Amino acid sequence: MIHRYLAGILGLVIAALAALAIWPRRQARVAPQIFLVGLVLVQAALGMLTVTWLLKPVIVTLHLLGGMLILATLVGIKASSCAASVDTAASAMKKAAWLVTALILMQIALGGWTSANYAAMACADYPLCQGQLMPADMDWSHAFVFNRELGQTSDGQMLSLQTLTAIHWTHRCFALVVLAACVAFAMRLKQQNDTRTLGYLLLGAVITQVLIGISNVWLQWPLGLAVLHNTGAAVLLAVAVYTTVQLQRAKS
């Protein structure tokens, strides 16, 4: 109920922000605020379906992504309204920023899918998974089937450990892709004076998130640390979105 009350308050605040942007006409661009209100309505519907459809994994994952998109939109609105911090940015840098942000969102989706399917404990060791770099008996045929109930395959059978292992292993491996992309992009940001701080923020956020994820495995997913892992994903996405918006505003 606390979650519902806070969600309701957030929705009202976002509606108020949209109303202030639209009337009286205080801002030239109101599309982001209108989009945000629509996103909140979709998120509310997903929240309802999460309960009524008994934690169906695809709905739970979409609900997580909806929350992250609301955060990203709020950060984007803030970044576009504050003073520009980057004077010039190459076209390649702008494209790289979008790519890094997309990769982070994909990793958040994989994390949500792992959590929604209760696959976090499928690999209880790190850097190995069940004592192997790549478990040989992973079941990919059911790992990413979206139209199914919690804990079941599409034909109603119970999900196997091999299926949960495939889900967890995919999330873990894609984290390395995100880490490499963020580090490479952060190193490029650090080469320019007006983007150096953004580079440090991105580097710090991604390294912290990876360390939290590894710690969760080593410590067997204590609740507080698991919540912190979700928070770390939100912080990493916020940094990436803020950086992306600032770079888009810069001259090429």
pLDDT band at 85 (very low <50, low <70, confident <90, very high): confident
Q: How confident is the model at residue 27 (pLDDT cuts 50, 70, 90)?
A: low
Helix axes 161-189, 223-249, angle to 10 degrees: 40
| Average pLDDT of span 189-194 | 95
In angstroms, the CA 211 to CA 213 distance is 5
Which pLDDT score, from 0 to 100, does residue 25 have?
Answer: 65
Per-residue model confidence (pLDDT) at position 111: 98
- Region 143-163 average pLDDT: 96
User: Which residue from 80, 251, 70, 102 is spatially nearest to 185, judged by alpha carbons?
Assistant: 102
What's the rounded mean pLDDT across residues 166-185?
Answer: 98
> How does residue 83 score in pLDDT terms, banded at 50, 70 and 90?
confident
Number of H helices, E strands in the chain: 7, 0
Band of residue 92 on the pLDDT scale cut at 50, 70, 90:
very high
* Separation CA 44–CA 55 (nearest Å): 15
With CA atoms as reference, report the closest residue to 115 among 176, 174, 62. Answer: 62
| pLDDT higher than threshold 70 for residue 230 | yes
pLDDT of 60 higher than 90: yes
Residue 252 confidence (pLDDT): 82
Residue range 157-166: mean pLDDT, rounded: 97
How far apart CA 150 and CA 59 sit, in angstroms, is 10
Other Cβ atoms closer than 10 A to 89 = 21
pLDDT of residue 22: 84
User: Residue 175: what pLDDT?
Assistant: 98
How far is it between the farthest Cα atoms of the chain?
63
Residue 188 in contact with residue 199, Cβ under 8 Å? Answer: yes
Chain mean pLDDT for the chain: 95
Residue for token pair 């956020």: 205
- Candidates 252, 211, 214, 209; CA nearest to 108 is 209
Separation CA 27–CA 156 (nearest Å):
52
Confidence of residue 133 (pLDDT cuts 50, 70, 90): very high
Distance CA 237, CA 97 (A): 11
Q: What pLDDT, on the 0 to 100 scale, is given for residue 21?
A: 85
